[in-house]
Structure 1
Amino acid sequence: MDFVNTFLNWIVPPASMVMLACAWPALCFINACEWLYNSLNSENMDDKVVIITGASSGIGEQIAYEYAKRRANLVLVARRENRLRGISENARRIGARHVMIIAADVVKEEDCRRFISETVHFHGRVDHLVNTVSLGHTFYFDEVTDTSIFPHLLDINFWGNVYPTFVALPYLYQTNGRIIVNASVENWLPLPRMSLYAAAKSALVNFYDTLRFEVKDEIGITIATHGWIGSEISGGKFMLEEGAEMQWKEEREVHVGGGPVEEFARLIVSGACRGDQYVKYPSWYDIFLLYRAFAPNILSWTFRLLVSPHGARRTSLIGTGRPIAEGSSGRPMLEGTSPRKLLAGPITFSQLSTQHQLKLE
């Protein structure tokens, strides 16, 4: 048996690559035909009911506007009710038939039951559930001195998607509805300083891939994965979260590069209405999957060359990957805050939570 496995280890990967290369033109043609057919038969969202969690900013806000253009009934869920009011007005002006706002924390099952029940009580149905809640970080795992924030990261990135899905499933069965999930390329692409975020996103994608087989064709599932994109996180804004027993306040930090969040939101909604299983932005990230499967060492060497810091390694305190600035005293100083605050001693999560260091997408 060992000889058979050894033989297959040498033969199957290159043979598979050759077969894939030969079949690539045919696969592209089939995919193009499928895309055209699904586009011509895209789901009409006029007067349908869409629940969007994490709708108070970033991707969630833009997805709300995309559904508003399709004249859907929107239920916007987030912790910042004051922020949702402005977004609901914008959505109505764009074309939404009706907009309901509900302040809720998606990591609490009772809150999820409440906003699903209120939606069904008012509209009588749920057609699309869009989960966009996500919480990122930019710290090196071996520099952590306080693990108290770990459960919150996993709660938001995993259970904050699973709980609304669990509660909404019976109603989605009734309408042959669809679940849309905001994931990230980090679920399979290893990037430094995002270990817990990547682990949670990987668990999330595997959960929904498995759930797709369980619900069969009765409920559609669209998993959207993105690389680095621009959002409120990178918009240079300063904002404090309120409500829902916030565990921290975060700074919506400094400017960084990235593709437009509006384009990603448009692709997500268009893909969901076509019935796509996956939406990827940008799609060229997929090439790294081949390297990870067939040449992982090359992928590892490439990332080490591209992302390894030069000189002393420092932890980002602002969640956007920027290094700590040096003040005149020679001590680390937080970039982008006003007034600037000097920090000394080892970096802990209690400091991070006090200084608004975790980023919410």
Structure 2
Amino acid sequence: MYEACFNNSFTNELVFYILLLVLFLISPLLFVWELIITVRSSFRPNENMSGKVVLITGASSGLGELMAYEYAKRGAYLAIVAIKEPESRLEQVAHKARELGSPDVLFLFADVSKMEECRMFVDDTVKHFGHLDHLVCNAGIGPIYSIDIDVSKFEPVMDINFWGSVYPTHFAIPHLTKTNGKIIVNASSSGVLNVPKGGVYNASKAALISFYESLRHEVSPKVTISIVTLGFIKTNIITAKYSTNTVGVHLRNDIGAVYPTMAPDACAKAIVDGVCKGATSITQPRFIKALFFVKFLFPEVHRFYANIYFSSMFDKLQKGG
């Protein structure tokens, strides 16, 4: 029935522009709808986290650490996970979380890229606390891709960023189903905007978004999924020092020196506040959401400004000074 429209190049384009025009005509209504949802969510009661159990991966630093503190202030029991390294601060994070109000904190060393270790820390959490309410999949790495670097060196990016979230999710779902729990996944706006030099990192985050958007249909309404898409947050992952310890391109300037960034403590609070209010999509800083709109509706415009803006800024990051 519709094949004639889509097989003809003119009518195929015509259908696209008609739908685009319809979208523009109803866009005021869509904006009002979005505003209503935003206002309603601000009045939605916060989930009482007192006595609930939260499992957070990648919790020894950055947003994982700060989210642990936010949950601790709300009286949640915590299981925090990080890879065992000489400089790991996981035990100190556990100590501070207790001081901030968490009744009990279990800290576990594990490699999220290994399936059996993910099974073990989920099982250990449930054995210790008896149940699981929130799973925060936060662990990730962010080397800067270049075609000049051996591509096989980037394999851990997908192992940690993608499988490091999928594995614990798989083992946690039976427990979260029992508690009407939540899965929070740090997927990054890079998975949507595909910023230059992101390469494999962008791909890993795009894979997360696709996986968890699909998973919603299987686990809803028993389990709520919150997908977090962040811009540049001022954590160690966007520093020049971090880049020198990765397989990717080494920077001479911090990314925060040339790109607009958000304070990590404000970001962590916004994420946990949103999750506790039942948000299923969280974007910080908020202006990033407008860029999603441009990227999907006007891909050529997005590529044009991304190439000019990000490429020129990246030169500054490499040159230093």
Structure 1 length as normaliser, TM-score? 0.78
Q: Which secondary structure state, in structure 1, belongs to the residue aligned with residue 89 of structure 2?
A: helix
Name the structure 2 match of 1:12.
Answer: 19
Partner letter of residue 17 of structure 1?
F
Name the structure 2 match of 1:341.
Answer: none
Say if 2:80 is the partner of 1:76: yes
Partner letter of residue 112 of structure 1?
C
Cα deviation for residue 234 of structure 1 reads 4.5
Higher relative contact order (CA 8 A, sep 6+): 1
Name the structure 1 match of 2:100.
Answer: 94
Say if 2:138 is the partner of 1:143: no
Name the structure 2 match of 1:267.
Answer: 270
Name the structure 2 match of 1:354.
Answer: none
CA distance in 2, matches of 1:63, 1:302: 33
Change (3 A) 1:253 1:231: farther
Name the structure 2 match of 1:185.
Answer: 189
Say if 2:224 is the partner of 1:220: yes
Q: Which secondary structure state, in structure 2, belongs to the residue aligned with residue 188 of structure 1?
A: helix
Q: 1:306 aligns with which of 301, 309, 313?
A: 309
Q: Deviations over 1:117-153 (max 9, x none)?
A: 111111110010001111112232x222x22223211
Cα deviation for residue 109 of structure 1 reads 1.0
Name the structure 1 match of 2:52.
Answer: 48
CA distance in 1, matches of 2:279, 2:144: 31
Higher mean Cα deviation, 62-71 or 182-191?
A: 182-191
State whether residues 66 and 265 of structure 1, in contact with CA within 8 Å, keep that contact through their aligned partners in structure 2.
yes
Change (3 A) 1:240 1:16: closer
Change (3 A) 1:48 1:148: same
Higher mean Cα deviation, 123-132 or 148-157?
A: 148-157
CA distance in 2, matches of 1:95, 1:253: 39
Partner letter of residue 298 of structure 2?
A
List alignment gaps of at least 5 residues for structure 1. 242-246, 315-320, 326-334, 336-361
Change (3 A) 1:253 1:162: farther
Q: Which secondary structure state, in structure 2, belongs to the residue aligned with residue 306 of structure 1?
A: helix
Cα deviation for residue 183 of structure 1 reads 1.3
Say which structure is richer in helix: 2
Name the structure 2 match of 1:161.
Answer: 165
Mapping 1:1-361, distance limit 5 Å: 1-2=4-5, 4-33=11-40, 35-38=41-44, 40=45, 42-80=46-84, 82-140=88-146, 142-144=147-149, 146-234=150-238, 255-257=254-256, 258-309=261-312, 322-323=317-318
Q: Which secondary structure state, in structure 2, belongs to the residue aligned with residue 71 of structure 1?
A: coil
Q: Which secondary structure state, in structure 2, belongs to the residue aligned with residue 203 of structure 1?
A: helix
Q: Deviations over 1:1-41 (max 9, x none)?
A: 135534312211011111112442344124412x1342x2x
Cα deviation for residue 186 of structure 1 reads 0.7
Structure 2 length as normaliser, TM-score? 0.87
State whether residues 133 and 176 of structure 2, in contact with CA within 8 Å, keep that contact through their aligned partners in structure 1.
yes
Change (3 A) 1:103 1:158: same
Identity of aligned residues (%): 35
Change (3 A) 1:158 1:27: closer
Cα deviation for residue 240 of structure 1 reads 11
Change (3 A) 1:98 1:248: farther
Higher mean Cα deviation, 7-16 or 124-133?
A: 7-16
State whether residues 179 and 221 of structure 1, in contact with CA within 8 Å, keep that contact through their aligned partners in structure 2.
yes
CA distance in 2, matches of 1:19, 1:248: 47
Cα deviation for residue 80 of structure 1 reads 3.3
CA distance in 1, matches of 2:164, 2:110: 11
Change (3 A) 1:111 1:249: farther
Question: Larger Rg: 1 or 2?
Answer: 1
CA RMSD, Structure 1 to Structure 2 (Å): 2.8
Change (3 A) 1:90 1:148: same
Q: Deviations over 1:224-272 (max 9, x none)?
A: 111011012356768999xxxxx98999986442211111111111111
Change (3 A) 1:252 1:221: farther
Cα deviation for residue 302 of structure 1 reads 1.5
Change (3 A) 1:252 1:174: farther
Change (3 A) 1:235 1:302: closer
State whether residues 264 and 281 of structure 1, in contact with CA within 8 Å, keep that contact through their aligned partners in structure 2.
yes
State whether residues 134 and 182 of structure 2, in contact with CA within 8 Å, keep that contact through their aligned partners in structure 1.
yes
CA distance in 2, matches of 1:236, 1:193: 15
Partner letter of residue 149 of structure 1?
K
Cα deviation for residue 292 of structure 1 reads 2.0
Cα deviation for residue 91 of structure 1 reads 0.6
Cα deviation for residue 297 of structure 1 reads 1.7
Q: Which secondary structure state, in structure 1, belongs to the residue aligned with residue 99 of structure 2?
A: helix
Change (3 A) 1:138 1:172: same
CA distance in 1, matches of 2:59, 2:252: 19
